[in-house]
Chains A and B, each alone.
Chain A
Amino acid sequence: MKIRLATVWLGGCAGCHMSFLDLDEFLIDLADAVDLVYSPVVDVKDYPENVDLCLIEGAVCNEDNLEILHKIRARTKVLVSFGDCAVTGNVAGLRNVIPVNKLLQRIYVDGADANGCIPHDGLPQLSKLARPAQDFVKIDVCLPGCPPQNKVIAGFLNNLLEGRKPETNQKIKFG
Chain B
Amino acid sequence: MAAKTLTIDGKQISAEEGATVLQAATEAGIPIPTLCHLEGVYDMGACRLCIVEITGIPKLLPACTTKVAEGMEIKTNSERLRKYRRMILELLFAERNHVCAVCVSNGHCELQTLAYSQGMEHVRYDYTFPKWNLDTTHRLFGMDHNRCVLCNRCVRVCWHIEGAGTKNVSGRGAKSRIITDLNMPWGDADSCTECGKCVMSCPTGALFNKGSTVGEMERDRDKLEFIVNAREKKQWIAD
Residues of A within 8 A of B121 (CB): 87, 142, 144, 172
Contact check, A90 vs B129: say whether CB atoms are below 8 A apart: no
Determine if A124 is an interface residue (Cβ-Cβ < 8 Å).
Answer: no
Contact check, B127 vs A94: say whether CB atoms are below 8 A apart: no
Given A84-B101, A175-B101, A175-B112, do A97 and B122 touch, yes or no (CB 8 Å)? no
A96 to B, closest residue via Cβ: B129
Determine if B1 is an interface residue (Cβ-Cβ < 8 Å).
Answer: no
Q: A90-B100, A134-B122, A175-B215 are in contact. List 18 more A-B contacts (CB 8 A).
A: A88-B99, A88-B122, A89-B127, A91-B101, A93-B129, A94-B97, A97-B129, A97-B130, A131-B127, A134-B124, A139-B122, A172-B116, A173-B112, A174-B100, A174-B101, A174-B112, A175-B100, A175-B106
User: Can you show 10 pairs from A to B with CB atoms below 8 A apart?
Assistant: A87-B122, A90-B101, A93-B97, A94-B97, A94-B99, A94-B102, A97-B132, A129-B129, A131-B127, A175-B215
List A residues 86-115 near B (Cβ within 8 Å).
87-91, 93-94, 96-97
- Smallest CB-CB A-B distances: 4 pairs: A175-B100, A146-B101, A96-B129, A174-B100
Given A87-B122, A146-B101, A174-B100, do A97 and B116 touch, yes or no (CB 8 Å)? no
B128 to A, closest residue via Cβ: A96
* Chain B, interface residues (CB within 8 Å), range: 20 to 34
Q: Which B residues have a C-beta under 8 Å from some C-beta of A?
A: 93, 97, 99-103, 106-107, 112, 115-116, 121-124, 126-127, 129-132, 215
Contact check, A90 vs B99: say whether CB atoms are below 8 A apart: yes
A66 to chain B, nearest CB (A): 16
Given the complex of chains A and B, what is the CA–CA distance between A11 and B205 in angstroms?
A: 25
Query: Given A129, A131, A134, A171, which contacts B116 in the complex, CB threshold below 8 Å?
Result: A171
Residues of A within 8 A of B130 (CB): 97
B75 to chain A, nearest CB (A): 27
Q: Which A residues have a C-beta under 8 Å from some C-beta of B?
A: 81, 84, 87-91, 93-94, 96-97, 129, 131-132, 134-135, 139, 142, 144, 146, 171-175
Given the complex of chains A and B, what is the CA–CA distance between A5 and B52 in angstroms?
A: 44
B132 to A, closest residue via Cβ: A97
Query: Given A93, A135, A142, A171, which contacts B99 in the complex, CB threshold below 8 Å?
Result: A93
A16 to chain B, nearest CB (A): 11
B107 to A, closest residue via Cβ: A175
A134 to chain B, nearest CB (A): 6
Given the complex of chains A and B, what is the CA–CA distance between A172 and B112 in angstroms?
A: 11
B4 to chain A, nearest CB (A): 39
Given the complex of chains A and B, what is the CA–CA distance between A144 and B114 in angstroms?
A: 15
Residues of B within 8 A of A134 (CB): 122, 124
Query: Given B115, B126, B127, B132, which contacts A174 in the complex, CB threshold below 8 Å?
Result: B115
Residues of A within 8 A of B100 (CB): 84, 90, 146, 174-175
Given the complex of chains A and B, what is the CA–CA distance between A129 and B127 in angstroms?
A: 10
Given the complex of chains A and B, what is the CA–CA distance between A127 and B138 in angstroms?
A: 36
Given the complex of chains A and B, what is the CA–CA distance between A135 and B132 in angstroms?
A: 23
Contact check, B122 vs A135: say whether CB atoms are below 8 A apart: no
Contact check, A81 vs B112: say whether CB atoms are below 8 A apart: no
A115 to chain B, nearest CB (A): 31
Given the complex of chains A and B, what is the CA–CA distance between A84 and B98 in angstroms?
A: 11
A159 to chain B, nearest CB (A): 15
